Amino acid sequence: MRCRGYGVGVLARQGHRLVALLVLLAGAVVLGVPAAGAHESTPTGVTRLELDLGSRALALTIIAPPEGAGRLPVVVLPRADAPPGEVTLAAVRPGAAAVDAVAVPAAPVGQPHEAALAVDGPGAWEVLVDDGSTLARVPITVAAPAGTPGWVWAVRVGALVGVAALIAAVSPGVRRRPRLAIGLGAVALVGVTVAVTAVATAPSTAITAAPTAAAVPPIGGPSGHAGHAGAAPAAAPAATPAAVPTTTGSVVLTATTASTPAAGTPVDLQLDLTDSAGGAVVDDLAVHDDALVHLAVIGPDRRLDHVHPVRVAPGRYVVRLTPGAAGRYGVFAEMERAGDGGHQVARTAIDVGGPAPAAAAPSPGPGARQVEGMQVDVTVSDAVAGRPTRVVARFAENGRQVTDLQGWLGMAAHLMLLGPGVAGAPDPGDPASAFGHVHDMGPATTAGPAGTYGPEVAFDHTFPRPGRHQLWVQVQRDWRIVTVPVTVDVAPGTTPSP
Ligand SMILES: [Cu+2]
């Protein structure tokens, strides 16, 4: 008895230490696992996109709730001219009218405003943005929360079994039965070991916080391509978008205006997208490079408008333009379809009335020129058809290098190109004039504010044909797009072998 009593006493003292240790371990395990809602959903669903809504240029950041329902913050950042006033926002199911609309200021330039919208479930939604005359419907997908991963269950069950066994082991009735106490202690140890092992071997990406508005970089900087199609939920959403066939047909672009466009007068250009295979409305566009549709409108005066029309209905987009000259305009839409559709460029043309325009003066060739208060020095190396050519633009202001270019659409700079038409010169209304778009994907500069670029932007391009080409280099500074037109004469090269 004495010996047994001594044994029980030792066991009891050791048991208290064991209990304390296990309680600490279990506590650490339970506290160390974040709340289920914070990490069980992949933190996707951040959509950034540019909207040219009426006379406004807005950069939107939409953050879908990772839980599949709840708060849906939308950050509106005014760019370009930012006339005073406000826009109203709402989140609705596709095609529905606005309810609980929230007004946010749409000025001044560069000042973001957040509207806290809400969604009540996963699936297809539209963020409505209304400037009083045009109602944009931005399609987004709110992903359903993913199921609980196995390792989380292992943590929960292990910790639960461990704590329960511990409590049982130290209860007065069990303490009088050493073998049972030891057995329960062993069970507790196994439970906690399972929980600790599960945490240690969990995928590192699983334990992350959901995105917040503050953590999302501004739209001008590198952003990746979070599109509404890319954020499609793994699990079946509660509501699916309207069934639109995804085909391998190309997109047919039709441009119309309510009245004949006139030089110098703002006009709303309506764009309808249909599929060449079956004529169906094309409404499966994914956000790419921060827009659903990148539209280049090039006039007979060789002015380029690079704008981002707003979606007003399935397959229908609208953008306001103020043509500068009469004549035929080339309209080029770049888009990316979800599924197998891939990246596509569709083109059409519009005629603008007015006095007959003077012959377009060619823009300067490579060399230095003044653009919006900056000196821009353009060099074009080895412009020979069929060979890689490098186009570099270097920016300076008052003799100092410019290192605060903001980037735009997720990259440092853009180069748009128009090749020669049948008459020899670039002609936006001539289908023989090829259109191209090249990106500068270079890293941010270390010489300027965080996330900015400069003083140099560079592009690699291979001109397929010789002849006169019109180039436009585009960068963003002070929330405005700076466009640098350049004329380049491409020399004939050797014909590439088939
Ligand atoms: Cu664009």
pLDDT tens, residue by residue, 280-314: 999 999 999 999 999 999 999 999 999 999 999 99
For residue 175, report the distance from its CA to the centre of ligand 1, in Å.
74
pLDDT at 495: 60
For residue 297, report the distance from its CA to the centre of ligand 1, in Å.
11
For residue 306, report the distance from its CA to the centre of ligand 1, in Å.
6
Cα 333 from chain centre: 18
β-strands 388-397, 374-381 pairing:
antiparallel
Tokens of 40: 């069980």
For residue 367, report the distance from its CA to the centre of ligand 1, in Å.
26
For residue 295, report the distance from its CA to the centre of ligand 1, in Å.
6
For residue 252, report the distance from its CA to the centre of ligand 1, in Å.
19
For residue 308, report the distance from its CA to the centre of ligand 1, in Å.
6
- Rounded Cα–Cα distance for residues 385 and 467 (Å): 9
For residue 343, report the distance from its CA to the centre of ligand 1, in Å.
13
pLDDT at 153: 78
Q: What is the dihedral of CA 275, 427, 303, 413, to 10 degrees?
A: 70
- The kind and range of the H/E element at 137 are strand 135-142
For residue 23, report the distance from its CA to the centre of ligand 1, in Å.
58
For residue 296, report the distance from its CA to the centre of ligand 1, in Å.
8
For residue 307, report the distance from its CA to the centre of ligand 1, in Å.
6
Yes or no: say if 405 and 393 are a contact pair by the CB < 8 Å rule. no
For residue 129, report the distance from its CA to the centre of ligand 1, in Å.
19
Across the chain, what does the average pLDDT equal?
83
pLDDT at 245: 52
Cα 298 from chain centre: 26
Q: Within the chain, which residues score under 70 in pLDDT? A: 1-44, 203-248, 495-498
For residue 284, report the distance from its CA to the centre of ligand 1, in Å.
18
For residue 347, report the distance from its CA to the centre of ligand 1, in Å.
15
- Rounded Cα–Cα distance for residues 94 and 138 (Å): 9
pLDDT at 75: 97
- Which phi and psi (to 5°) does residue 137 adopt? -120, 100
- The kind and range of the H/E element at 16 are helix 2-32
For residue 111, report the distance from its CA to the centre of ligand 1, in Å.
21
pLDDT at 222: 35
For residue 49, report the distance from its CA to the centre of ligand 1, in Å.
10
For residue 383, report the distance from its CA to the centre of ligand 1, in Å.
25
pLDDT at 496: 53
Yes or no: say if 418 and 464 are a contact pair by the CB < 8 Å rule. no
